[in-house]
């Protein structure tokens, strides 16, 4: 699993100089901003949850055939997590698998979605239930793409980054939170001395990505340690299904709910959960589910993390240390009661 750092988009092209036939699959919005950087045939599509489907995969496959894609074609996916997911899945099944690489253009994709080889689509409203685990040739990290992110998209990526630190890097969590709080304070005051947040936060982005790479290399197929990366996601996927809010916002709320559940089950001190929730609020991250938590039981019971009669939640002992905790389906409503 190879992470490559490029500090300007122009540095990407030499990495592809040996490829005979490159086709770029790119988010339509990203193409409008950066499409002219990539001098290859391009297939663009509107990257949203509705289009993260088997139908869209068939459309991409049809367009690949029209452009003469064969077993030697190299797919370059350019966009956020939806783009890398669906392009990676399409490349993994087209002609029984062709080579591909990712250029993630969102913070969420750089710290999480484009790393680890999980490529998939949604089905019947449930997240990523059809897919593959197949690694890209490389993932290119380029901070320049993050300059055009909306505040909401940036915060969604921050939630995934902090998730990684809550799992196993307490020091990075508190350092990143301190930096982000300072940036938010200056923003709220309309300070003339605003920090260059992208430059200052980028080492933490690289750190989070590197932590995920290390976890995935130990446990490619999620039999043990990789499961910790699901912190907040059992709640988040259910919240997304029931409300339709963006993934990053659902993840930040899901992490807060996982902390509250950890306290409810007497597995973590309440002060730790209060710290996480306060930190998230101060940084401007979403901390609440837009739908009643009690209504999430059905969606959670059908989550892909279900095994037999239990669903495994990743809960928190302290910042920097998490553990797996199965809950019986029959006990879900009781566990979720009064969490919000």
Domain end, chosen from 147, 177, 202, is at: 147
Please state the domain count of the chain: 2
| Across 92-114, average pLDDT | 97
pLDDT given for residue 194 in this prediction: 59
- Asked whether residue 179 falls in the same domain as residue 214, the answer is yes
Domain end, chosen from 147, 179, 197, is at: 147
Domain end, chosen from 88, 113, 147, is at: 147
- Rounded CA Rg of the chain: 20
- Asked whether residue 155 falls in the same domain as residue 114, the answer is no
* pLDDT tens per residue across span 254-268: 999 999 999 999 999
- Asked whether residue 143 falls in the same domain as residue 229, the answer is no
* pLDDT tens per residue across span 41-98: 999 999 999 999 999 999 999 999 999 999 999 999 999 999 999 999 999 999 999 9
- Asked whether residue 131 falls in the same domain as residue 163, the answer is no
Domain that holds residue 107: 3-147
| Prediction pTM value | 0.93
- Asked whether residue 83 falls in the same domain as residue 109, the answer is yes
For residue 63, the number of C-alpha atoms closer than 13 Å in the C-beta half-sphere is 19
- Asked whether residue 158 falls in the same domain as residue 86, the answer is no
């Amino acid at each position: 699993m190879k992470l490559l750092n490029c500090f300007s988009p122009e540095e990407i092209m030499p990495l592809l100089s040996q490829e005979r036939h490159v086709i770029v699959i790119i988010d339509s919005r990203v193409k409008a901003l950066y499409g002219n950087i990539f001098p290859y045939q391009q297939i663009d599509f509107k990257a949203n949850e509705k289009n993260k489907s088997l139908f869209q995969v068939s459309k991409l496959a049809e367009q690949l055939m029209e452009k003469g894609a064969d077993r030697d074609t190299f797919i370059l996916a350019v966009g956020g997590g939806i783009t890398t997911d669906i392009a990676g899945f399409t490349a993994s099944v087209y002609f029984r698998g062709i080579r591909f690489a990712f250029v993630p253009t969102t913070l969420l994709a750089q710290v999480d979605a484009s790393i680890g080889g999980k490529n998939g689509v949604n089905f019947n409203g449930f997240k990523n239930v059809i897919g593959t685990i197949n690694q890209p040739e490389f993932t290119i990290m380029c901070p320049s793409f993050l300059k055009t992110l909306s505040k909401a998209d940036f915060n969604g990526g921050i939630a995934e980054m902090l998730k990684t630190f809550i799992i196993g890097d307490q020091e990075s969590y508190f350092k990143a939170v301190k930096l982000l709080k300072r940036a938010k304070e200056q923003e709220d005051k309309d300070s003339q001395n605003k920090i260059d947040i992208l430059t200052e936060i980028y080492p933490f982005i690289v750190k989070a990505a590197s932590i995920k790479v290390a976890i995935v290399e130990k446990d490619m197929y999620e039999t043990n340690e990789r499961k910790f990366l699901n912190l907040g996601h059992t709640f988040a996927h259910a919240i997304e299904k029931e409300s339709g809010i963006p993934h990053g916002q659902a993840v930040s709320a899901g992490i807060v709910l996982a902390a509250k559940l950890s306290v409810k089950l007497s597995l973590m001190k309440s002060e730790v959960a209060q710290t996480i929730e306060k930190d998230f609020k101060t940084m401007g991250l979403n901390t609440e589910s837009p739908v009643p938590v009690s209504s999430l039981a059905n969606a959670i019971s059908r989550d892909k993390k279900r095994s037999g009669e239990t669903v495994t939640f990743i809960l928190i002992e302290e910042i920097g240390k998490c553990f797996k905790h199965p809950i019986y389906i029959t006990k879900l409503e009781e566990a979720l009661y009064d969490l919000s």
